Amino acid sequence: MTNMNYAQHEHHDFLNASAEALADPTLQKALVRLTDTLMAGNRKGYAALADSSDLRDHAKRIKEHTLAHLDEYLVQLEMSVHKLGGKVHWAATAEEARKIVVAIAQAAKCRHAVKSKSMTSEEIHLNPALEKAGVEVTETDFGEYIIQVAGERPSHLVAPAVHHTRESVARVLSQHLGETLSDDPKALAMVGRRVLREKFRRADLGITGANFAVAETGTIVLVTNEGNGRLTTTVPRVHVAIMGIEKVIPRFNDLPVFLKLLARAATGQTLSVYTTIITGPRQPGEVDGPEEFHLVLLDNGRSKVLATPFRESLQCIRCGACLNACPVYRRIGGHAYGGVYSGPIGSILTPLFDSVAENPHLPHVSSLCGACQAACPVKINIPHMLIGLRELQHAHKPSRLERWAYQLWSMVLCRPRLYHWAIWAARVILGRRAKAGWIDQMPGPGAEWTKIRDFPAPAAMPFRERWKELS
């Protein structure tokens, strides 16, 4: 397949997608700039908190506790929302969730939807379903708006259009709006403001995700930097919030722990510019807010993960810190991963939510360097989960030859004399290829290594022989 636009497709050829990303100088520049800026923010953000490590542990414990009692907290959340006059909908799959949102729009006769950024709505591919039902959908986060116009998928959890430059943004928007726009970032932002304000004015349906939902109070919390979350939840007469079931937190008092961490982990901000806290639809006597409030609770594979060793991945608060820290994401960007969620956490969530068998590369696309875990606000042990998925892959689709090779290798390693002999054999075989201690062309799987760099020749005398002269 040539000239495939990986920004627009899922389930593709990872090797081609990553090779194209590596060969795209504009993307490379954008990735380095973004990840450098955000990682510097992450480090500064944690450093500014005297107790950041303890706070992260605390946040992790809240998540652990919530996930262990998820059934109870979800029911409590449903009751709290219901008491406020809102409706809660349970969606087992992406398809169910799409049908629910379309039905809400149709029942309320909504024709114009505005959305604030929501990865969960991306996960269920909501926009095409609404458009098919005759509802115009406009993304109102500027980055999301750009990729919506371009017909692409987000390439980062919090910076969805990171793969674009100001030149390409000007090009995409000029074409869409039928006018010639300058590539000055400020001017482009003003164009976005002009277009989106008009969309807000006409909107009768507001769709959001939820960064957090408080079981105790039925409160939905949105964090944005553009204020579009606030407009989306106050202007239209109907508000639908879609959240993965793992986003619930028990108490309102738990919220500050996460708010203190989320923006710091994501960008280094103390708080995001807007924190929108919504508790139910418009109440009698209130001047704004929607007439109807719906909360869609999405499972889509999450409850299945809950009962596995991968439960920890459900602690993710979608800050994107692991993407910014990851030396692999930094080089191949988000689209190469092929799913809605990219980077290290995406390499876990995509196989788990989608299919382990159909995403064979993702668990392996990591040097297990651990930078992700170090940056994670809830210290998710991402390397461990990637290794766990590799183990799971062997059960799903065993490679007999590979298993046999690892078994043989461990058998040799348990017999020191045989191992000693194997080193000797390797030296004899590889020694002929060596020049001044290095080999520039390896046989077998090692050939992949020597495409890029030389391989060390086995030493003339291994340490176990040198030990004799030392003792």
DSSP 231-292: HHHHSSSEEEEEEEGGGEES-GGGHHHHHHHHHHHHTS-SS-SEEEEEESSPPTT-SSS-SE
Query: Residue 179 or residue 448: which is nearer to another protein going by CB?
Result: 448
What's the closest the beta carbon of residue 279 comes to another protein, in angstroms? Answer: 41
What's the closest the beta carbon of residue 132 comes to another protein, in angstroms? Answer: 38
Number of CB atoms found within 10 A of residue 96's CB: 17
What's the closest the beta carbon of residue 340 comes to another protein, in angstroms? Answer: 21
What's the closest the beta carbon of residue 56 comes to another protein, in angstroms? Answer: 15
Q: Residue 63: CB partners within 8 Å, gap ≥ 6?
A: 314, 315, 378
What's the closest the beta carbon of residue 103 comes to another protein, in angstroms? Answer: 43
Query: Residue 193 or residue 464: which is nearer to another protein going by CB?
Result: 464
Query: Residue 261 or residue 356: which is nearer to another protein going by CB?
Result: 356
Q: How far apart are CA 204 and CA 422, in angstroms?
A: 72
Query: Residue 315 or residue 393: which is nearer to another protein going by CB?
Result: 393
Q: How far apart are CA 121 and CA 298, in angstroms?
A: 10
Query: Which ranges in 10-69 belong to alpha helices (H)?
Result: 14-22, 25-47, 52-68
Please name the amino acid found at residue 373.
Q
The SS3 call for residue 105 is: helix
Q: Residue 86: CB partners within 8 Å, gap ≥ 6?
A: 218, 280, 281, 293, 294, 295
Query: Residue 151 or residue 416: which is nearer to another protein going by CB?
Result: 416
What's the closest the beta carbon of residue 334 comes to another protein, in angstroms? Answer: 14
Sign of CA pseudo-dihedral 72, 75, 79, 84: positive
What's the closest the beta carbon of residue 6 comes to another protein, in angstroms? Answer: 15
What's the closest the beta carbon of residue 223 comes to another protein, in angstroms? Answer: 29
Query: Residue 300 or residue 366: which is nearer to another protein going by CB?
Result: 366
Query: Residue 2 or residue 410: which is nearer to another protein going by CB?
Result: 410
End-to-end CA distance of the chain: 61
What's the closest the beta carbon of residue 413 comes to another protein, in angstroms? Answer: 4
Query: Residue 252 or residue 455: which is nearer to another protein going by CB?
Result: 455
What's the closest the beta carbon of residue 4 comes to another protein, in angstroms? Answer: 18
Contact (CB, 8 A) for 200 and 112: no
Q: How far apart are CA 61 and CA 75, in angstroms?
A: 21
52-68 and 25-47 are packed helices; what angle lies between their axes, rounded to 10 degrees?
Answer: 100
Nearest to 310 by CA among 380, 395, 213, 396: 380
Query: Residue 193 or residue 466: which is nearer to another protein going by CB?
Result: 466
Query: Residue 163 or residue 239: which is nearer to another protein going by CB?
Result: 163
Which residues lie near another protein (CB under 8 A)? 18-19, 22, 327-328, 331-332, 364-371, 374, 387-394, 403, 406-407, 409-410, 413-414, 416, 419, 423, 426, 438, 440, 445-446, 448-449, 451-459, 461-464, 466-467, 470-471
Phi, psi of 271 (to 5 degrees): -140, 155
Q: How far apart are CA 220 and CA 248, in angstroms?
A: 9
Number of CB atoms found within 10 A of residue 53's CB: 11
Q: Residue 233: CB partners within 8 Å, gap ≥ 6?
A: 116, 206, 208, 222, 239, 276, 278, 289, 290
